[in-house]
Structure 1
């Protein structure tokens, strides 16, 4: 099969790369029927392969987000990982799932066209135990949805936490910043972080803080009030669906539910493009593109400056393997990891 796969349904088009199971482009019409590519990325594969791309559009793993000190203990044994984000391991290490080649096959079912990608992660890959069989199924539905279904099994106990890492700009990927986008997050708690973005272990109410998106706010409305590591902005995990401090006890198999629930909504007032994000995961990492600095030239020569895109990465909590208060991300033999994510597009008049 070709290195890229194009799916079309109605006015929406998505291009998926076998490299990293990456969403390379996603064209969605605005309120006037004019389509634009709303995800950041690159025209060719090299930036995705060599690490120039900051995980744009990728399926990240074996463990999304950060593992403190690039190490963890599991069943009495310590495992050491690559430290590729200061002292921490980020998104699976130096060669995570975002950089490998996946097999791919087209699917065609009642809900719409799709592609199923698969990868076998060997025992010891990037320091993680167990051979893991991973599959991701992208489906472009007749209901203006892009569905991502993630599955995995293992032959040894291992941490596993997959995430889809697209950067969105609903005005178009090269149109400027997302600071005017209106965002709602259905999480009334979040997990504060230290100066290297590792959770402190607390699950804290968002009320009265710049982290409160339980009602719609512009992304840039309070961004200067966000404490934390330079260069400033949001890069925090939200506890979804009212799980709050009891999230660990309310999750089964690391997931909050069997059926995707509404986690977030983002709207670009100028174009009218909107997107609901639904998931079965207990958390969503809201990242406001803080480390984009204008040095990357993306598709069509677009310059990606700070806050040129935002990510809403549904996942288990960061550093959960080292945080006993967080829902477990350990997958064991005989179990199946199942994580569903839905991007549902709409237009506001």
Structure 2
């Protein structure tokens, strides 16, 4: 009887072991794998691309992560294309993507049925700010000149950005325009260049102004290829030529806009991977290498762990909902 009972118990135990997810048995002890997948949900050269590449370089340079971290660019829909792809990777411990306000805005505007709640928020890393730049030969020398032109004719200024219409680059410009007293916001021409080609468009004279992230264009402002009319922080930030860019508030427009950026994994990332990234990213943001990258790009420190970041996202989602209702009210 005892031998029979032991056999039954052993068989039940083997069945239970076979039913356990392989990732929780094999993945926990040898995590991270040799190759991770880091994703920028945009074309090369934009703010998401710069951020995720800076994260990968810092993790590698500091020795915090030894795995390979190739960068994939998956543009489209202001981040919506990649967000939809992430839904096919639920439970993955390898995929990490960078996002910012569009992960909320694309859902609120109906451009995507998915939102931050369909991901695993890992950490908020930095705050960038909006910047409004023109070619060095542009007739516009201040943001107020742009706003005055729009007051006279909302079709007189063509605005470009790398996010989709109704998403971040578009919304940050409309917020400033509304604060400046520009009417007929819906009539302003906004052209999306999600392949990262916005800079070429303004340099070629195809658009008059780019609404973008300050970190995205810092080097081009430093080189003199682009002239920044204003940025959206409450104070001057960065160094060199970037530190000379006036805020919109300095120019009499009472508004600010924060472009926070953070890292997200697919929904249901295993606990061991979430714990690993919480620890590793907290260590990363405390390194001199990360501090130097922030300074170079004009980013402010804004670290939050996954739990605090999730709370921030819920609060910010409600704020953006109110902003959109105000901008687009009849």
Q: Same fold (TM over 0.5)?
A: no
Rg (Cα) greater in structure: 2
The structure whose residues are more often strand, as a share, is 1
Highest relative contact order (Cα 8 Å, sep 6+), 1 or 2? 2
Query: TM-score of the superposition, structure 2-length normalised?
Result: 0.26
Query: TM-score of the superposition, structure 1-length normalised?
Result: 0.25
